[in-house]
Amino acid sequence: MGAEEEPPGGAIGGSLAERLGYLFANMHPPGCPYTNVHVAEAISGQPEEYGGVRLTEQYLSMLRNGRRANPSPDVLRALAKFFGVPGGYLLGDLSDTQRGRVEEEVRFLAAMRDQRVRTIALRAVGLPPEVQDSLTAIIGQFRQQMNLPEEPSWPDGRPPRGRPEAGG
């Protein structure tokens, strides 16, 4: 697995800087990672949306590199809202299991940025379960023929924890 596949903060329960790094690495539009400037301006420029929080690029940079580690709960809630994750993820209020679920959803959303992956997934919608199972088996055979791991490589290098098979 190459270093480019391992964004910062892949470990569940890491520091605030690691969790922010994880969100920056994974929660962005296709091909357009967010910058500190973009996030700070988006939050500060929409006070009604983000609870009146004012955030500077410099302060966000310090949070991301660990030089500041104790922002106000309002700042953490605004950042969580921007990235579309529960506030508790950044506030540190989630159990390891809950954090794991959040990170699993983030991995899924990161994978779904790939248009080809979305196309394959959407074409399977509405097909009977046995046909979906057959498609999964066929994809597995292709992965095996190409000497790829049985499970896909996720952005942080960890496979999903059973979510795709749950039909969800």
pLDDT beneath 50, residues of the chain = 1-11, 155-168
Q: 69 Cβ partners below 8 Å, 6+ apart?
A: 15, 16, 17, 63
- C-alpha span between 39 and 151 (Å, rounded): 33
Spans of all domains in the chain? 3-111, 115-166
Q: What pLDDT does 152 receive? A: 66
- C-alpha span between 37 and 42 (Å, rounded): 8
Q: What pLDDT does 83 receive? A: 95
Query: Which CATH superfamily groups domain 3-111?
Result: lambda repressor-like DNA-binding domains (1.10.260.40)
Q: What pLDDT does 92 receive? A: 86
Q: What pLDDT does 12 receive? A: 53
Q: What pLDDT does 76 receive? A: 96
Query: What's the longest Cα–Cα distance across the chain?
Result: 54
